[in-house]
Structure 1
Amino acid sequence: MTAGFTIATVDYARDHARVHAVREVVFVQGQQVPVELERDALDPLCFHVLAVDADGQALGTARLTPDRRIGRMAVLDAHRGKGIGEAMLAALVAEARRRQWPEVSMHAQLHALPFYARAGFVPSGPSFVEAGIDHREMRRRLPGSSPIEDAMGAAAVLVALAGHARRDLGVYSRAMDPGLLDRMDVLEALRRFAVSGGERRVRVLLQDAATPQRNGAPLLPLAQRLPSVFAFREVRDPVDARYPSAYAFNDTGGACFRPLGHRFDGEGGVDDAPLARRLQLDFDRIWERSRPCTEYRTL
């Protein structure tokens, strides 16, 4: 039992009525999805979970399909915001790992992209309409990094890195990445990490410290409010100044690498410990020979 609910694996043949009772309220009644689209031939073949309270009342449900896709994530309105969706998603990812699947994907409603991003899923491909609702595919490697295609994908990985970090987060950027480090979802993820309690550290290593200061980068006011967490340095070695890439990492094996720092495409995920270790080693060496950006403290 976690926070008043339990995530239980259910047998569809026995418990299909409980599964569909939740899905009908959320999808058919709440989102006007036709009932003939809400149910499909995959249901009997799927791995299903139910979130239930102490009395056995179903609060939410989700499934894992044979084609390695998470779907039908549904939580009753009155029970949202309690961590039920996160717990069901974690249970499905754990089952995919148990089956040794290399990857799991989903068709995510656009409004839910930030929720899945925090769990390490990366947007892939263009948006599309399914059951009359805008969706986008999202993927997560198990383990490893997923391809990053655009700014939304890069932001999703940064949000996940901040959400999964325990104490440390490192960012290597040319000039504080306009279009990425100034996004509200990324800034909010950094803020949540910084104020979540305990010892926290965000180190940002820049090739150009003057441009963010001159342009009023939104990350700077946040860092000034939390000076014990955020630290900035600027590279001094000419070799470091010519480094073409940008990256980020955390202390739980998450990483994001973009081969060309002025572009958003690359690879990243919350479960790529070899890449995270390599990036941290490179980062630490450059950090030690770079200068602190003391000018940021007096803006």
Structure 2
Amino acid sequence: MTPAARPFRVEAVAFEDGLPALRAVRDTVFVQEQGVPVELEHDALDPLCRHVIARDADGQPIGTGRLTPERRIGRMAVLAQWRGRGVGEAMLQALIDEARGLGWRELSLHAQASAIAFYARHGFLPFGSRFVEAGLEHQSMRCLLDAVNPVEDHEAALAALLGVIAGARRHLWAYSRELDPGLLDRPEAVAALRRFAVDGGETRLLLQDPAAPQRAIAPLLGLAQRLPTAFAFRAIEEPVDRSYPSAYIANDRGGWYFRALGHRFEGESRLDAPARARQLRALFEPVWERARPCSEYRALGL
């Protein structure tokens, strides 16, 4: 949805001018809904931060967010009746654009556990262990702006994968050794691929060992049987192709996640680098043409 077509607008606001609107939204969401103590919600950082407010067509506040001097996004809140309508995405993008305008190269945030996937769709990757803040479970996340983001562990790998899937328009290309157990079989990943497929997306997957997912009864194979036009698998058989050590997934909007060693989760990712995504697709296509279709997957009876 373009900004002109939205039933709301997002604007930057000075703290003093926006204080009543900021408090109206944040007190409703954090204090009343989530039980955050008001003395924690009203902190001393607010006057030092840059704030954005989302307003409906009548000018009423419906969402808030801020950038702290520590280059952290915080206080992201949307009124319940407006959730799932793009308000959070628009505010997050406004804050990222503001950070770019300030010349910041990195942003971090403390995401509530339920919002990790939301931030992953915008390129933020988790780091460190989860922790409790204001009585709620949180996860630290960060994003390098206009740069490659390192993927350092399993949870960051899942977030990178979810970001690439969510950013795809119609096509995904994945090169995998054995359908990435521990990653492509995670419920969050399967659910994201299902949404992409139902929305008309096509996913092509190249496998070095197609028998391994069969033995493991990988959930993605069952999903592919239910949505056969959305998924295509091919087995890599040429020796020169089987010696390729890496793995990756790329989409048609410039998002990608690449692992130099395909049996590990560590790698790098970026959601807005179309040149690199095209390069990965150029690697993928000739191997796809040489590989054989995994016809055995159509008869699994899962």
Q: How far did 1:41 drift?
A: 2.8
Structure 2 residue 230 is the aligned partner of structure 1 residue 229: yes
Match of 1:196 among 188, 194, 199: 199
> Who is 2:288 aligned against?
287
| SS of aligned partner of 2:268 | strand
Structure 2 residue 91 is the aligned partner of structure 1 residue 92: no
Counting only pairs closer than 5 Å after superposition, residues 102-251 of structure 1 correspond to structure 2 as: 102-197=105-200, 200-251=201-252
Q: Which deviates more, 171-180 or 186-195?
A: 186-195
| Aligned Cα root-mean-square deviation (Å) | 1.7
Q: Deviations over 1:4-44 (max 9, x none)?
A: 22212212111112102211121122222222221233222
Q: Which deviates more, 95-104 or 225-234?
A: 95-104
What's the TM-score once normalised by structure 1's chain length? 0.93
Q: Which amino acid aligns with 1:204?
A: L
What's the TM-score once normalised by structure 2's chain length? 0.92
Q: Which amino acid aligns with 2:154?
A: A
Q: How far did 1:2 drift?
A: 4.6
Percent of pairs identical after alignment?
57
| SS of aligned partner of 2:129 | strand
Q: Which amino acid aligns with 1:222?
A: L
Q: Which amino acid aligns with 1:252?
A: R
- Gap regions ≥5 residues in structure 1: none
Alpha-carbon distance in 2 for matches of 1:167, 1:111? 27
Alpha-carbon distance in 1 for matches of 2:251, 2:106? 21
Q: Deviations over 1:185-230 (max 9, x none)?
A: 1111111111214xx3211010001111222111112112222221
Alpha-carbon distance in 2 for matches of 1:161, 1:15? 35
| SS of aligned partner of 1:82 | coil
Q: Is the CA contact 1:145–1:271 (under 8 Å) kept in the aligned structure 2?
A: no
> Who is 1:67 aligned against?
70
| SS of aligned partner of 1:144 | coil
- Gap regions ≥5 residues in structure 2: none
Q: How far did 1:71 drift?
A: 0.6
